[in-house]
Amino acid sequence: MASKITEQQVEHVAELAKLEFPKDELGKFTTQLGNIIDMFEDLEAVDTDGVEPMTSATDRVNVMREDKAIKSSKDEQEALLNNAPETDGGYIKVPAILDESEDGE
C-alpha cells in the first residue's frame, strides 16, 4: 500500500514542515511515510464499537498546577535574558516561523 504515496508528495510534505533531506534518501522516506499511512489504515479497520473513549492512559486526575502568572524579580528577568541567544528591549527574540514571503527568507 505504500505505493499510494509518491516522492513528489513526500517532497511537498517535507517542504511544508520546513524539512530538508538529500535526494538520494527520498525513496527511503517515501517508503517510511507509506508504511506509517498503512499503519493508520490498519488501525482504522479495527472495530471499536462499544469501546469507551479515554483521554489518559492512567486514572490520575489533573496533576498539573494552576497556570498563574507570577511577577519575577529584576535579577530573575536578567538571568533569563542572559540565557537567551538573542534579545530585544527586554524580550527574547525568536526566529519567524510563518514566512509568507515568496523568497523563503
pLDDT tens-digit series, residues 10-37 = 999 999 999 988 889 999 999 999 999 9
CB atoms within 10 A of CB 30: 19
Run of H or E residues at 99? none
59-105, pLDDT tens digit by residue? 877 778 888 998 989 999 999 999 999 999 999 999 888 766 666 55
